[in-house]
Structure 1
Amino acid sequence: MCATKLPRIMDLDTAYIEPLIKEWLQHVHEDNARQEQIFVEGSEFFIPFIAVPVPVMKAIFVITDHLGLGPNTRYLTVHLFDRFMSNQFCELYVAEMVSNPGEVAWPQICKIISSEAKLRLMSCMQLASKMDSHTKGLSISQVVRGLRWLDDKSEYTTNSIYCSEFRVYKALDFKIPLFTPLHCVEILLAATKLGQMPKIYDACVNLLDLAYLEHERLYSCLVFLMKQRFSEFQIDPGYIMALESNVLYLAAAVVLCATFILAVEHSETERLVQMLSNQVGIRVTNIWEMANLLFTIALQEDTPEQ
């Protein structure tokens, strides 16, 4: 858990941002709907979090912390790297199919992706840091430091770093999300008037970190519960992927879970979860479900092994 006070992306004083909350939420809802449509139709090759297993996730967290980058940069780095690697895999696969239609050389594709992965990861972090704050964007020397930590056997030139950043940005079609789950958390804290509660912001960031680091475990448990509840129905894989990419759903569960951590009275949490449900368009039971899973994981993380 983080002991220092974390800087906020936005001032949660609702006196002047309250008129904007509805528009922010509408924008996030529209983006979620577009993303869900892509997953349901299968019109784009992208499986959320497929390129960021636990070791990669931990590396991103360690490097961003070492370089003094904020939580929003690490979440955005995860998203960009995940997107880029999926894009690169699809690109190489299609190229291989064209040149060798009879047999796809998987080892060759994996070798190419692996050889460039560390540099591409730092390029994603470089882009994320600039998006988060242009004054704190990673310098070339900082990128080199990160690369040395990841791979001390290779040398990276200034030109290779510049070229890699452009390569990644182009592969992403020059599109970077305007918001992350942390933005959504802050919007919900403002919308529910919880923003000024002592320690809640830091608790939310810690829980978001945990949700990222334990992503596979968290969503596997969630899918298991869903299958138990709808055992007679086949759950659409597209729906599951849309669920994993729904930043409002995750943010609502994090905010609710933070009230568990801070021991808010049950009557207040019941009122809060209804407010969250109205804001994010997710059923109350689903938000409780995710928040309880996250709370259980948090308790297990804080419990020392016997």
Structure 2
Amino acid sequence: MSCTSAKECPSTSTVSVFTECFASPPEPRFHESQSSITAELLQDYLELLTTKNEATINSATPGVTTLFKDQNTVLFLFELCRHLGLTPDVQYRAVELFHRFMIGHIEELYSHVQSSAETSSPITWRDVEERLKHQVTLRAVSCVQLASKLSSHYHLVTLNRARVFLSKCGFRYAATSIVQSEVRVLKTIKFRVHNPTPLEFIETLLGALDSEDDSLPVMQLHGISLKLLDIFYLSRESIFTNFAKLIKSRNNTRPEEIEKLISVLCVDSMLLAAAIITSASLVIYEAIDTQWLISALCEAAGVESRDIIDYSLVLMQEVFSGDDSDT
């Protein structure tokens, strides 16, 4: 059908204006002064992230911090997000939401089982596990739905898209069941949906560094950092196993102390972000040329250079070991 008027068929320039105004940008715009926030606001947000990061570290519980971030779970959520055409920030947020939900959900269910023990019809944990297995895909989709709504107002996972995906997986859920699942996730995490992801730390640090030195290849660093962050999420267990070996080789540290330290490293997003940016810089520069960047990261992130270097070495070790296994 041909368009007979400009009113019926908007011009390319009009579409461009609407896209510029209403569509979320596909990547951070570090060098654009009109669309970038000021250095002062970046510093304020960096301080806010630091405060939140410290609170997370202080509340870290050994053995729980990565309980529902195993490789299979992360891979499923990543593939689900990519199948639905979602941006990288959605997949990281979906993993964090799913992890928080499952911890809270398990606690609620366990309390329910405990309270039913004194009743005439007690509930067994085996029955609860069977129900969990059947519902876990639905819960994962609900977390992706929520993550997509936090990321974009025009490319979110609608109810129909969620139902179609679940149907392809062999699950027949009514629309009301999918909505109820999303509400259940929200209630379980007490409606605290916006917890900063490691990507937010990376992008904020890069923005802060870019505001100090606009010659920094910030878009290259950002692109490589995304790939390294994927590797971190998919190889978390291996990375922290190697980190524990590194700590043990340097100090005569007791196993329980190593476990406590690793539980802190698991949730220290600021240190992780600094280490990933450092690792990304090693891909671009010679190792000797990254010292200035590490110094800048120490000042911006408030972390020790030794910790950044150690973390970066373990990350790069995982990258190269992965390359070796492929060949």
TM-score (norm 1): 0.87
Of 261, 267, 272, which aligns to 2:283?
261
1:246 aligned onto 2:268: yes
Could you tell me which residue of structure 1 aligns to residue 3 of structure 2? none
Alpha-carbon shift at residue 32 of structure 1 (Å): 1.3
Is contact 2:30-2:218 (8 Å) kept? no
Is contact 1:274-1:284 (8 Å) kept? yes
What whole-Å deviation, never above 9, does each CA across 1:109-150 have from its counterpart, x for those lacking one?
32222221110100000000000112211111221233234x
Structure 1 alignment gaps of length 5 or more: 1-5
1:13 aligned onto 2:31: yes
Correspondence list, 1:117-156, <5 A: 117-149=136-168, 151-152=169-170, 154-156=171-173
Task: Identify if the C-alpha distance between structure 1 residues 85 and 202 changes in structure 2 by more than 3 Å, giving closer, same or farther.
Answer: same
Could you tell me which residue of structure 2 aligns to residue 208 of structure 1? 229
Task: Identify if the C-alpha distance between structure 1 residues 60 and 301 changes in structure 2 by more than 3 Å, giving closer, same or farther.
Answer: same
Is contact 2:60-2:267 (8 Å) kept? no
What whole-Å deviation, never above 9, does each CA across 1:166-214 have from its counterpart, x for those lacking one?
1101111000125211111111112223764452221111111111011
For residues 305 and 20 of structure 1, the distance between their equivalents in structure 2, rounded to whole angstroms, comes to 44
What whole-Å deviation, never above 9, does each CA across 1:69-124 have from its counterpart, x for those lacking one?
01100000000000111111111111111222799833223222222111010000
For residues 56 and 146 of structure 1, the distance between their equivalents in structure 2, rounded to whole angstroms, comes to 17
Is contact 1:200-1:259 (8 Å) kept? yes
Structure possessing the higher radius of gyration over alpha carbons: 2
For residues 231 and 260 of structure 1, the distance between their equivalents in structure 2, rounded to whole angstroms, comes to 30
Could you tell me which residue of structure 1 aligns to residue 101 of structure 2? 84
Q: What secondary structure does 2:257 align onto?
A: coil
Task: Identify if the C-alpha distance between structure 1 residues 236 and 294 changes in structure 2 by more than 3 Å, giving closer, same or farther.
Answer: closer
C-alpha RMSD over aligned residues: 2.4
Is contact 1:12-1:186 (8 Å) kept? no
Structure 1 residue identity aligned to 2:269: V
Aligned residues: 293
Correspondence list, 1:184-199, <5 A: 184-193=201-210, 196-197=217-218, 199=220
Task: Identify if the C-alpha distance between structure 1 residues 298 and 167 changes in structure 2 by more than 3 Å, giving closer, same or farther.
Answer: same
Alpha-carbon shift at residue 268 of structure 1 (Å): 2.7
Task: Identify if the C-alpha distance between structure 1 residues 195 and 138 changes in structure 2 by more than 3 Å, giving closer, same or farther.
Answer: farther
Task: Identify if the C-alpha distance between structure 1 residues 232 and 211 changes in structure 2 by more than 3 Å, giving closer, same or farther.
Answer: closer
Structure 2 residue identity aligned to 1:147: L
Is contact 1:13-1:195 (8 Å) kept? no
Structure 1 residue identity aligned to 2:229: L
Task: Identify if the C-alpha distance between structure 1 residues 195 and 172 changes in structure 2 by more than 3 Å, giving closer, same or farther.
Answer: farther
Of 24, 28, 46, which aligns to 1:25?
46
Could you tell me which residue of structure 1 aligns to residue 9 of structure 2? none
Is contact 1:93-1:104 (8 Å) kept? no
Task: Identify if the C-alpha distance between structure 1 residues 136 and 291 changes in structure 2 by more than 3 Å, giving closer, same or farther.
Answer: same
What whole-Å deviation, never above 9, does each CA across 1:217-246 have from its counterpart, x for those lacking one?
112211222233332454174543232112
What whole-Å deviation, never above 9, does each CA across 1:10-46 have from its counterpart, x for those lacking one?
3213854311122111111111121122226x9xxx8
Could you tell me which residue of structure 2 aligns to residue 71 of structure 1? 88
1:282 aligned onto 2:300: no
Of 49, 55, 69, which aligns to 1:52?
69
Structure 1 residue identity aligned to 2:270: L
1:162 aligned onto 2:183: no
Is contact 2:247-2:258 (8 Å) kept? no
Q: What secondary structure does 1:245 align onto?
A: coil
Is contact 2:247-2:253 (8 Å) kept? no
Structure 2 alignment gaps of length 5 or more: 1-24
